[in-house]
Structures are given as structure tokens and as C-alpha cells.
Amino acid sequence: MQKLNLCIDIDGTVTEPFYWLNRANKFFGKQVKPEDVSVYEIHRVLDIAEDDYNEFYNLYGQLLHKEAEARFGASEVLKRLYDHHNIHFVTAREGVMKDVSVAWLEKHEMPMDSIWLLGSHYKVDQARELKSDLFIEDNYSNALQLAKAGFDVLLIDCSYNKGNLPHNVTRVKNWFQIKTLVEIRAQRNELDFKIAL
């Protein structure tokens, strides 16, 4: 099987997408439910100023990331994929969140070759540097940006990432479907390699 470079987002991709919701509701006196989350930007979901959300995140970000639950199947699938592929976590989190991010991934038994905290949602340059074969993401805008730059993306389905997708973005329902698609891609790459010889 051909070894792939898998780039994987963290928030909403290997974590449950709404892990921040209970604390944010309590802090801001809101009653937002997961099904109400139709956009990615949390301050818009909560109908508050972006600066107010940033203040909340500065206070509770470490705790939120520490408490997050893992998406069903993520750990099991990543452990299997790690036997055959390179795993690079590429997140928009700020560098100050590195220790809590690494500790969370270790606690949830998610193996990796590297972790990149970009402090930005622009991931194209990092995908290029890592020679990404597949980028696994939950952010619709990120997926489109990566696709436009020529990368293949698996977009894990969420209420906030609906929209039309280009040919190189595939919407997936769960981590077991991701595993199947990674294996298909690896076999296709191996076949292409053999034909090229």
C-alpha cells in the first residue's frame, strides 16, 4: 500500500464539533443547541461581538480544549491509519495551545508524526510543505481554499459546513468512511505508481 501524507484538522474534525457550546451558553446566557449552529464563526452563532467571544476564549480556551470529547471512531481509525500513513495535525489554533493540544491527542490515543498550530485558517502553505495527499477538515471555507490550491479534501459533515463542493472535496459522514476512502486512495496511488514504472 502506498504511504500517504494525511493532514488533519483538530477542532470539529477529531473533536466533537460542539464541545464549546455548553460553556459558551452559560457564559453568555444563551440557549443555542447544536442544530442551531449553521455557520462556522462561533460569535455569529451566539449573536455576540467577535471581541466578546475572543475574551471568552482567552479565559476558557485551554479548558475547552482539555475537556473536548473525541469524535466517535477517530482514535480507532487513526491508530489503524498510522500503521501505513503519515499523520500531520494542522490546526488554526494559536501556538499557545500546543501543550494542551498535544496532551489531548495523547490522552485520546491519536498518533501523529507532527502537529502544526498555525494561528490562522490559511492552511494551503502548510499542506504544500507536508505534501498533503488528503486533507481532512470540517471548515467549509478551508476546504474550498485547499481545493482551489489543488488539494484533495475530505470534509466531515457538520451542520455548519453545508454548500456546493468542487470535484476534489468529498463530504464524509464519519471516521470509518474516512478510513475506507484513505485506503482506496492509497491503492489508487500504488496502482498509478506501478503503471508509471
Question: What's this model's pTM, rounded to 2 decimal places?
Answer: 0.93
Q: How confident is the model at residue 188 (pLDDT cuts 50, 70, 90)?
A: confident
128-179 pLDDT, tens digit each: 999 999 999 999 999 999 999 999 999 999 999 999 999 999 999 999 999 9
pLDDT of residue 25: 97
Grid coordinates in use for 110? Answer: 491519536
pLDDT of residue 197: 45
pLDDT of residue 117: 98
Average pLDDT, the chain: 95
Is pLDDT above 60 for 196?
A: no
- Give the closest residue to 55 by CA, choosing from 24, 88, 26: 24
pLDDT of residue 150: 97
Which string of DSSP letters, residue by residue, matches the chain? Answer: ----EEEE--TTTTB-TTTTHHHHHHHHT----GGG--SS-HHHHHTS-HHHHHHHHHHHHHHHHHHPPBPTTHHHHHHHHHTTSEEEEEE-S-GGGHHHHHHHHHHTT---SEEEE-SSS--HHHHHHTT-SEEEE--HHHHHHHHHTT--EEEE--TT--S---TTEEEESSHHHHHHHHHHHHHHHHHHHHHH-
**Domain locations in the chain as residue ranges:** 5-15+70-196, 21-67
What superfamily does domain 5-15+70-196 belong to in CATH?
Answer: HAD superfamily/HAD-like (3.40.50.1000)
43-84 pLDDT, tens digit each: 999 999 999 999 999 999 999 999 999 999 999 999 999 999
The pLDDT of 13-20, averaged and rounded, is 97
